[in-house]
Amino acid sequence: MQKHNFSAGPCILPQSVLQKSAEAVLNFNNSNLSLIEISHRSKDFVEVMENARNLALEHLGLLNKGYQALYLQGGASLQFLMVAYNLLEKKAAYLNTGTWSNNAIKEAKLIGEVVEVATSKNENFNFIPKNYTVPSDADYFHCTSNNTIFGTQMQVFPDTEIPMVCDMSSDIFSRQLDFSKFDLIYAGAQKNMGPSGTTLVVVKENILEKVSRNIPSMLNYKVHINKESMFNTPSVFAVYVSMLTLQWLKDLGGIPKIEKANTTKAQLLYNEIDRNSLFEGFVPNKEDRSKMNATFNLKNETLKATFDEQLKQAGINGLNGHRSVGGYRASMYNALPLESVQILVDVMQHLEKQA
Ligand X SMILES: *Cc1c(COP(=O)(O)O)cnc(C)c1O
Q: What CA–CA distance (Å, rounded) separates 177 from 251?
A: 20
Q: What CA–CA distance (Å, rounded) separates 210 from 113?
A: 17
Select from 10, 75, 135, 337 the one that contacts ligand X (CB under 6 A): 75
- Provide the mask over 90-129, with x wherever binding to ligand X is found by CB under 6 A and - wherever it is not: ----------x-----------------------------
Residue 167 in contact with ligand X, rule: CB under 6 A: yes
Residue 191 in contact with ligand X, rule: CB under 6 A: yes
Closest CA to 53 of 44, 40, 43, 62: 62
The span of 10-18, 27-35, 71-79, 345-353 binding ligand X (CB under 6 A) equals 71-79
Select from 169, 192, 245, 290 the one that contacts ligand X (CB under 6 A): 169
Q: Between 238 and 344, whose beta carbon lies closer to ligand X? A: 238
Residue 234 in contact with ligand X, rule: CB under 6 A: no
On whether 233 is known to bind a ligand per the annotation, the reply is yes
Q: Between 107 and 272, whose beta carbon lies closer to ligand X? A: 107
On whether 152 is known to bind a ligand per the annotation, the reply is no
Q: What CA–CA distance (Å, rounded) separates 115 from 105?
A: 9
DSSP letters, 287-310, are: GGB-SSEEEEEESSGGGHHHHHHH
Q: What CA–CA distance (Å, rounded) separates 121 from 292?
A: 21
On whether 302 is known to bind a ligand per the annotation, the reply is no
Which residues is 141 bridged to in the sheet?
93, 164
Q: Are 199 and 74 in contact (CB under 8 A)?
A: yes
Is 167 labeled as catalytic in the residue annotation?
Answer: yes
The angle subtended at Cα 19 by Cα 18 and Cα 22, nearest 5°, is 85
The span of 58-66, 74-82, 204-212, 338-346 binding ligand X (CB under 6 A) equals 74-82
Q: Which of left, alpha, beta for 64 (phi over 0: left; psi -120 to 50: alpha)?
A: left
Which residues fall within 8 angstroms of residue 329, CB to CB, at 6 or more apart? 6, 8, 149, 151, 293, 294, 295, 296, 319, 320, 321, 322
Alpha-helical (H) ranges within the chain are 15-26, 43-60, 75-87, 99-108, 221-226, 236-252, 254-275, 304-313, 338-354
Catalytic residue among 183, 191, 288, 291: 191
Size of the site for ligand X (CB under 6 A): 12
Q: Between 92 and 314, whose beta carbon lies closer to ligand X? A: 92
Closest CA to 345 of 316, 302, 325: 316
Q: Between 163 and 188, whose beta carbon lies closer to ligand X? A: 188
The span of 73-81, 214-222, 323-331, 335-343 binding ligand X (CB under 6 A) equals 73-81
The span of 17-25, 75-83, 124-132, 219-227 binding ligand X (CB under 6 A) equals 75-83
| DSSP classification of residue 33 | S
Is 100 labeled as catalytic in the residue annotation?
Answer: yes
Chain contacts with ligand X (rule: CB under 6 A): 9, 75-77, 100, 144, 148, 167, 169-170, 188, 191
Active site residues: 100, 167, 191
Annotated binding residues for pyridoxal 5'-phosphate, written as ranges, equal: 76-77, 100, 148, 167, 190, 232-233
Annotated binding site for L-glutamate: 41
